[in-house]
A and B are shown apart, each in its own frame.
Chain A
Amino acid sequence: MDLSFSEQDEAYRQKLRDWIAGNKDLATRTMKGIDDKGDRNPIQAMRDWQRHLYEAGYVGMSWPKAYGGYECSLTEQVIVNEELARAHLPPTINTIGLTIVAPTLIQHGNEDQKKEHLKRILRGDDIWCQGFSEPGAGSDLASLRTAAVVEDDQFVVTGQKVWTSVGPIADRCVLLVRTDKDAPKREGITYLLVDMKSEGITVQPLRNAGGGSHFSEVFFDEVKVPRGNMVGELHGGWAIARSTLDNERSGLSGVVALENNFKKLLELVEAGTRSGKPALEDPQTLNQIAQYWIEIEGLRYLGYRTLSEQLKGQKPGPQASVGKLFSSKLRQAMAKSALEIAGPYAALTKKSPHVLNRGRWVAGFFDSLGYSIGGGTSEIMHNVIAERVLELPRSVED
């Protein structure tokens, strides 16, 4: 076993670090919401940031060159993900476009669709949102009811989607609709690309338990979608959606995010006290943070195992599917500990003059609660491990 990177890879890493160091001002400006023209426009600033990242070669690294990608090696992608996460840079605004829409189009889209959308996704010109979940179709996504009727050369869509991230600012949406009510539920679904400016679409922000509005509800009232915006075959949408939901990742960039959280937790421990003594001398506190350190190490080595398999062109083994379940649990435990270590002031809102770190710990706590729900609940992840890894009989017949 050997965890070292080749000299070539290390040179690539250095080049990236130089780019990051040379673009500190740009990153700070973006965080402040100032765009390339110098105007205060947070959304435009984030689009500009993604375009700069792309032009430097750090977005779309795995994509074919024909569609604007860079065809980088897997190791280079891992290096970029790690370094970007480590440097606390602004995120890419078009995450759904980059991680869900584009892989889908590359795999299943026709040439026109690829030419029309891929480059714009890379440059942050179009921000995409995902219209999959519905009020009545969460874990059981295939029971979705938003309906599309075929009329001449267009679909007419009516229904409601929910948990739509970036809904209010999205330019386009990937939408799952029911096109055959009588077919078995997985065989009557079609995959559409929808312009969010179409007539009949209403977006309503949805506040989450922590008070933020990252999601929205999207209502469709007889929205017309050209037939050319269908991906794949009529009624063939379920398999297409599944193929990108199953996109396994090594999870190594998630490990860097956890390490960043852990560093903040350590700073809290360093500053905190327990029974009149530094928290660092409290055995129970040390025991707890040691456990988190162990679990982050575990996730890192888990990620390396997955990456090794991917580098050899193998299908990722069982460790890939335990990563999400494990990391959401860990994230929540750490966030809860942070509140406890920070003490009673950690429970104050931003409005209080005594608020700690501008309410970061409370926000982190509420944030962490979403990780075991979004992208497949922990209960569903248990089912996935039980059924696909342990090959136990299905718990639900449908």
Chain B
Amino acid sequence: MGRAGLLLRLAWRNLWRNARRTVILLLAVTLGVAAMVFAAAFSRGMVVAMVDDAIDHLPGHVQIHAPGYRDDPAAEHRFPYPQGRLRAVLDGPLVAAWAARVRVPVVVASEYDTAGVTLLGVEPRREAALAYLGRASVDGRPLADANDAGLLIGRRLAERLDTVRGRRVVITAQGADGALADRGFRVVGLFRSPWSSEEKGIALTGLATAQRLLRLPGEVNEVAVRAADPERLEALVAALRAAAPELEVADWRTLSPLTHAGQQLYSQFTWVWYLVVFLGMAFGLVNTLLMAVLERTREFGLFLALGMRPRWILGQVWFEALLVLVLGLAAGNGLALALARALGEVDVSAFAAGAELAGLAQRIPLIIHGGDLALANGLVLALGLAAALYPAWRAARLAPVRALRRN
């Protein structure tokens, strides 16, 4: 230990010469660090929930379309049901689940009203593993298989059409050949969704039924894919593009730029929050250390007279900052972890409309991520020690004879 041990001992004892001041400073650092870690956990939870929600409703991390479909989502922009190399990738280790769908804009009419909606022709078994709508709570019966001729619509759409389960509606669309196609469907179930846009604007039927209606035998408009490892999204996209070079493969960041922008915005918000909290903390730390240096000026003069080098004086004050920061970090992390564990998640359903508008989930999980912890702790420690350099430098550059004269 040697001189470092001496400086550490002096720093520790000097801290407790004014215990009240030190406790107040420690509390400030503790609360600041806890606020940083908690905010990071909330922010990460918000981003994860937002992205998960988007993936669940988009749906999928990646979608495959025929060229032109994303600009004009019409039945004519179609491609064969996955097979060959594309099917091999979809059934491979990079993919957790996938579903092929017919997806076109249609008009749905009841006896009382009409509405423009999106018709999804789905394979219910595949859809359940991929998307929220495949698992949504249904008043009535869910779709049984790809040949199911029943229609599932959202609760709010049913209200708008003034129809109920068991009644018939007519769907009119433009088929793949450009001719109008229409057909009567019985509403077999009403689904619920936290996204009102889904409840108002989606109707589901069996894939084969939709193919027959739109004259798309063996063809689909969309393949939605859930990645086995979202961290390896680039590899999945590359594999899909290689397997189906004639199709357009896009990940969720392209398909939902608002969600991606939100993800980045919340990450930046975390940085701004870190900065605000840190500035408050650093102000308290530097002020307290400057006061301690001023109070002990004569003592520093004595140290210099006894042969302590200026850089060891600097070290002494710096160690005081280090001890406060380390103790504050330990307590702050403990407090934030305990709080996050106790709460688990934050319920923002009271602000459901605003949350949906902002693309947020209604329950935000508090996610303590090792990287966030390391960043918050590293930032406080590094910047805190940098801020402490000024009072330490002030102490180190004291002229011994002037310092000794100070009472």
Decide if A and B are genuine partners: no
